[in-house]
């Protein structure tokens, strides 16, 4: 079964458990979702491991060879439900951008605060702050590459953007990125900062210029 097929089958099992009046056995579920009990048991093990389903051990009787465990959906919202953080990011970016002409500065300040906090959590002040900043950016999904420009000054090329679609349409996303880098360097006492961020210096590249 493909990964997508497994996801669909497990969603079907969880739905059957939620629709039931009480806990169900493997045999009960196999009947309801029309698959072999061994297949149901395989998916239930994964669902219990991920916290989506709760197993209640069965009691072994004198004649039973195997106790009939019972299963029910874990209470609360499904932790494997769909996520649309892109919608949340768009709503927040649009709200910030629409506040006033200082929106980019506000966005940069927010990024600065986050970058400083991330730098504090990462490690004590590193000896090589450029390498440390590249590591931080890599963890965020920017695919950074330290280098130098034509005048020999330090740059960090960003080959990926974790907010690409939003960065193309919003005036506050790139300032957040700039703020994150400046905040991290300031927290580390680097004695240098990112003078400017050049968005889409090439279609596949943004460049942070350090001073």
Average pLDDT over residues 8-12: 90
d(CA 9, CA 43): 8
In the predicted model, is pLDDT for residue 59 greater than 70? Answer: no
Average pLDDT over residues 32-47: 94
Percentage of the chain beyond pLDDT 70 is: 93
d(CA 197, CA 157): 10
Residue with tokens 């991920």: 50
Q: Which pLDDT value is given to residue 80?
A: 73
In the predicted model, is pLDDT for residue 57 greater than 90? Answer: no
In the predicted model, is pLDDT for residue 100 greater than 90? Answer: no
In the predicted model, is pLDDT for residue 61 greater than 60? Answer: no
| The token pair that represents 121 in the structure block | 């959590």
d(CA 35, CA 70): 17
d(CA 156, CA 143): 10
Please provide the average confidence, as pLDDT, over all residues in the chain.
89
Q: Which pLDDT value is given to residue 31?
A: 94
| The token pair that represents 166 in the structure block | 């939003």
Average pLDDT over residues 173-179: 96
> pTM (2 decimals)?
0.70
């Amino acid at each position: 079964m493909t990964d997508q097929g497994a996801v669909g089958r497990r969603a079907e099992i969880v739905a059957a458990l939620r629709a039931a009046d009480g806990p169900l056995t493997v045999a009960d579920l196999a009947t309801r979702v029309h698959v072999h009990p061994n297949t149901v048991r395989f998916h239930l093990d994964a669902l219990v491991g991920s916290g989506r389903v709760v197993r209640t051990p069965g009691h072994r009787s004198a004649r039973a060879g195997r106790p009939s465990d019972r299963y029910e959906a874990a209470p609360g919202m499904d932790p494997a439900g769909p996520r649309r953080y892109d919608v949340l990011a768009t709503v927040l970016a649009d709200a910030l951008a629409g506040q006033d002409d200082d929106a980019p500065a506000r966005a940069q300040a927010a990024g600065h605060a986050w970058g400083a906090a991330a730098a504090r959590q990462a490690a004590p002040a590193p000896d090589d702050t450029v390498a440390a900043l590249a590591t931080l950016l890599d963890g965020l999904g920017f695919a950074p590459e330290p280098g130098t420009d034509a005048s020999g000054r330090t740059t960090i090329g960003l080959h990926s953007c974790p907010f690409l679609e939003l960065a193309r349409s919003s005036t506050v996303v790139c300032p957040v990125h700039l703020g994150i880098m400046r905040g991290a360097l300031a927290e580390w006492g680097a004695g240098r900062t990112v003078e400017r961020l050049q968005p889409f210096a090439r279609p596949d590249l943004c460049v942070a210029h350090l001073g």
